Amino acid sequence: MLSQSKFSNLPRTINPGQTVFILLWVLTMIALPIVNWTCGWETTVKAITAGVIVQVSAVVAILWKSWGTVKTVRVSALVFLLGWAAEAIGSHTGYPFGDYAYTETLQPQILGVPLLVPLAWMMMMPPAWGVACAISSKFQQRWQSTFFIAASAAAMTAWDLFLDPQMVTWGLWAWVSPGGYFGIPWSNFLGWLLVSAVITAIIRPNKLPIPGLLLIYTITWILQTIGLGIFWNLPGPAIVGGVFMGILAILGWRAYHMSTA
């Protein structure tokens, strides 16, 4: 089990710069329904893009405090490239997610994959690592690495329980053969588990700033649950995603506090 000293040299607070990015992100996400009602869909797409960019900035700012410039840039670039490669292969071959394709809504694109999509992988992969690192701290040392990879994949895939139904409803991508999860094929979630696990296994992140990443994951859970359930008329995904992502967030905070007590 990880002792308190394992986390003692890592940031436990959010600094003012990180706070600014987090607040900008939250305000952007809260504004999305208002923008959609008042300004129309084209402006909403721009707001979606802005929300992803600001959230990525918040995540990078949190990582930079612990990792420094070189490691933060290297890991960010690697997640972006691996995420893009998985989406390019997936949208052209049907593996590992299933048969789907992106529409022309999100621009720019490379090989049919909007660049905003691998940015979204970078936006949520580190928060998933933060959750997994906290939860895996209670396991014996020999099992921690394996469980960390599995928990990271689960935490990332739990977010997609919100994401895919929402993005399909918005017309940002489409499935050739809609499936059983609110129109999303079950193969998609197996693909998310696989790709998330592979990215985590390749990068093997360490010295993670747990509280900041857990905060991003938790805020995402709350915003998505409220947003889909109240403003975007997707109560089913709101409930299912809210339960799974919420369980992981709560387990993460509980394990972190126990490890640092």
pLDDT tens-digit readout, 206-241: 999 999 999 999 999 999 999 999 999 999 999 999
Q: Is the pLDDT of residue 134 over 90?
A: yes
- Tokens at 173, concatenated: 């991508």
pTM exceeds 0.85, yes or no: yes
Backbone angles phi, psi at 138, to 5 degrees: -90, -5
Q: How confident is the model over 77-98, as a mean pLDDT? A: 97
pLDDT tens-digit readout, 33-78: 999 999 999 999 999 999 999 999 999 999 998 999 999 999 999 9
From first CA to last CA, the distance across the chain in angstroms is: 13
CA dist 115 and 11 (Å) reads 31
Q: What is the pLDDT of residue 73?
A: 97
The b/e string for 197-212 (b: 16+ C-beta within 10 A; e otherwise) is bebbeebebeebbbbb
Please provide the average confidence, as pLDDT, over all residues in the chain: 92
Q: Is the pLDDT of residue 5 over 50?
A: no
C-alpha to C-alpha distances, 30 to 27, 51, 164, nearest whole angstrom: 5, 10, 19
Q: What is the pLDDT of residue 4?
A: 37
Q: What is the pLDDT of residue 14?
A: 74
In the chain, % of residues over pLDDT 70: 93
β-strand 173-175 against 109-110: which pairing, if any? unpaired
